[in-house]
């Protein structure tokens, strides 16, 4: 089964522009406790390089584009994100990296928990040792 799970957000826009609602439990399949976004990014400064033990996240480029690597410890898959209506689910225990940010990229994330450093696995060898084979 693919690691890539897209969530399509409806665009209720009209000739004035796009309007994309994001509601807890509706478009995003959990109670949203935290929203954060990355901006002023550089193509040559990738981010992420961690997995979360329990955190569930939904991410998309509300502007611009980037490439995301998803890795469950067995297989790796790359996905391009380039639309504010196509979000990517990043589930627990998925190593993820974000690369190749366009200069206009705004990377938006919805998360089901508050920030907790103890939930991070930042070392790839630790991640592999924790993955159930």
Query: Which residues of this chain interact with ligand TYD, rule CB under 6 A?
Result: 34, 36, 38, 47-48, 50, 115
Known catalytic residue at 50: yes
For ligand TYD, give the closer residue by CB, 84 or 96. 96
User: Could you tell me the strand order of the sheet in which 76-81 lies?
Assistant: 76-81, 66-71, 95-99, 47-52, 120-121
- Minimum CB distance to ligand TYD, residue 11 (Å): 26
Active-site hit among 50, 52, 96, 114 = 50
- Minimum CB distance to ligand TYD, residue 121 (Å): 11
For ligand TYD, give the closer residue by CB, 46 or 73. 46
For ligand TYD, give the closer residue by CB, 50 or 67. 50
- Minimum CB distance to ligand TYD, residue 86 (Å): 20
**CB 66, CB 45: distance < 8 Å:** no
In the chain, DSSP assigns E strands to 6-8, 34-38, 47-52, 57-63, 66-71, 76-81, 86-90, 95-99, 106-111, 120-121
Instruction: Tell me the sheet residues that pair with 69.
Output: 78, 97
Written as six digits, the tokens of 30 are: 């959990």
Active-site amino acid positions: 50
């Amino acid at each position: 089964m693919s690691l890539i799970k897209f969530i399509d957000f409806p665009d209720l826009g009209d000739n004035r522009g796009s309007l994309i609602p994001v509601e807890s439990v509706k478009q995003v399949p959990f109670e949203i406790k935290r929203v954060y976004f990355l901006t002023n990014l550089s193509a040559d400064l990738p981010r992420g390089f961690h997995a979360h033990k329990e955190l569930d996240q939904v991410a998309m480029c509300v502007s611009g584009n980037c490439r995301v690597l998803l890795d469950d410890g067995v297989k790796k898959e790359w996905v391009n994100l380039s639309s504010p209506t196509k979000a990517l689910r990043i589930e627990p225990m998925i190593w993820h990296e974000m690369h190749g940010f366009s200069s206009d990229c705004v990377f938006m994330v919805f998360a089901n928990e508050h920030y907790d450093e103890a939930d991070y696995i930042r070392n790839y060898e630790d991640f592999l040792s924790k993955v159930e084979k």
